[in-house]
Each structure stands twice: as C-alpha cells, then as structure tokens.
C-alpha cells in the first residue's frame, strides 16, 4: 500500500490512535497532509506535543489546565456559589458550550465503579468535601451521565451535599437515558440544564 516509503506507512499507523479513524481514514489523512498541507501538519505536531507536555489537571477543579489553577477557577467573573460536577473534561466542555452556566466546575475524572477500582477517593472526594465544607457553595449541580454508574454517582454526591447542608440539583429529564453528555445536541443539553431539579 505504501511500498515506496516506510515512514509513510508508520505515519498512517500512527493516525489510528485517533477516535473514529480506521485504516482508510488514516491513509487519507497521511496522503492529504503530505500532498497538500505540511504546514498544518507541523502545527498539529507542535500543538500535540505542547498539549501533552503542558496540560495537566487544575488543582482546584481537576479539569484540564496548563496552569496550577485553570482559567475558569481563576476567573473573577464566575459565580462561586454554584458548583457543577461532571465525570470528565469533555463533559465540562459540553456544558460550557451548550449552556449559559457561569459557575464553577468539579471534574470527577471517572464515576463510581467498584469493579474498575474507582471509589470516592479516586473521584476526589477529599477535595470536594473541603470545597463543600468551606460554605461558599450554595448549589451542587450534579451533571454525571444518565447511565447506571452515573446515576449511582449522582446518588452518592447528593448524600455528600446533604451532609454538608448544600442543595443538590440534577439535570432535568430530557437527557436520553443511556446517553453520554458529550454526544447530546446542544439544544437538548441546554434545556435539561435550565430545568434541573432538586435531588431528594
């Protein structure tokens, strides 16, 4: 397929680390950048390395950040009485893009899943408990995914909130059961966010 150039074969193989990229797409990508966009490919390589080397997790919210405290947590424009809890950085991005939410976030980097060795401590319960105990947060918006594990995680979070005397809310129905926030259309997600209800 790429008999003339071993480096080309290696590049095609490397593209397959990307989600949704099979053998055919990987080949198309490799030929495209070599034939038509070497500048774009070099920029992609540079930014991949910069992102890998410098993006870690915010010490406060555990979301992606290249600084100790991310730009969201550091922003004076954010409402510090609202804390939205999501499973992953991509869910945080989905909420941020779809809703007008201007509060803070907390990223679990997972969901309760004993079989995978994911319990409260892996999900940052110490950090979250401290935040709740500080008394600044008035509402905990539980935006875990509506899967079995996500619902169990939501239940656990509502208990944490109740113990701390903080109101917990959950995104409204409208988010399809079994779905993943990342793949929901913006309108549905915005609606569900707007009609969130108190967890009982």
Give the footprint of a copy of itself on this chain (CB under 8 A). Answer: 1-8, 10-11, 14-15, 17-20, 25, 27-35, 37-38, 40-52, 54-55, 58, 61, 63-66, 70-73, 75, 88-90, 92-93, 96-97, 182
Nearer to Zn ion, 65 or 169 (CB): 65
Q: At what angle do helices 186-194 and 89-98 cross, to 10 degrees?
A: 80
Torsion sign (Cα): 74, 78, 82, 88: negative
Lookup: tokens for 34: 């070599």
Nearer to a copy of itself, 33 or 175 (CB): 33
Please provide the size of the chain in residues: 200
CB of 127 to a copy of itself, least distance (A): 16
Can residue 73 be called a binding residue for Zn ion (CB under 5 A)?
yes
Q: Please list every residue from 3 through 62 that binds Zn ion, using CB under 5 A.
A: 58, 60-61
Nearer to a copy of itself, 18 or 172 (CB): 18
The only residue of 70, 123, 137, 192 in contact with Zn ion, by rule CB under 5 A: 70
Residue appearing with tokens 């992102």? 51
Nearest to 144 by CA among 128, 155, 136: 155
Torsion sign (Cα): 138, 71, 106, 121: negative
Adjacent-strand bridge partners of 139 = 82, 167
CB of 108 to Zn ion, least distance (A): 13
* Contact criterion met (CB below 8 Å) for 189 and 99: yes
Which of Zn ion, a copy of itself, none lies near 66, with the C-beta cut-off 5 to 8 A by kind?
A: a copy of itself
User: How many residues interact with Zn ion (rule CB under 5 A)?
Assistant: 5
Q: How many Å apart are CA 15 and CA 12, to the nearest integer?
A: 5
Which of Zn ion, a copy of itself, none lies near 60, with the C-beta cut-off 5 to 8 A by kind?
A: Zn ion
Which of Zn ion, a copy of itself, none lies near 172, with the C-beta cut-off 5 to 8 A by kind?
A: none
Question: How open is the CA angle 60-126-110, to the nearest 5 degrees?
Answer: 75
Residues that bind Zn ion (CB under 5 A): 58, 60-61, 70, 73
């Amino acid at each position: 397929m790429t008999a003339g150039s071993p480096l080309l074969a290696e590049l095609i193989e490397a593209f397959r680390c990307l989600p949704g990229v099979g053998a055919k797409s990987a080949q198309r990508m490799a030929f495209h950048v070599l034939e038509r966009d070497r500048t774009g490919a070099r920029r992609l390589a540079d930014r991949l390395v910069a992102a890998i080397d410098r993006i870690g997790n915010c010490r406060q919210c555990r979301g992606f950040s290249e600084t100790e405290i991310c730009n969201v947590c550091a922003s004076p424009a954010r409402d510090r009485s609202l804390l939205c809890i999501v499973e992953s950085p991509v869910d945080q991005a989905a909420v941020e893009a779809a809703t007008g939410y201007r509060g803070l976030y907390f990223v679990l980097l997972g969901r309760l899943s004993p079989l995978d060795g994911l319990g409260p401590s892996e999900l940052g319960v110490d950090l979250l408990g401290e935040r709740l105990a500080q008394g600044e947060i008035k509402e905990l918006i539980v935006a875990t995914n509506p899967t079995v594990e996500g619902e169990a995680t939501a239940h656990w979070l509502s208990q944490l909130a109740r113990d701390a005397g903080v109101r917990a809310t959950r995104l409204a129905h409208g988010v399809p059961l079994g779905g993943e926030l990342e793949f929901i259309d913006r309108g549905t997600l915005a609606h569900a966010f707007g009609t969130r209800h108190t967890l009982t």
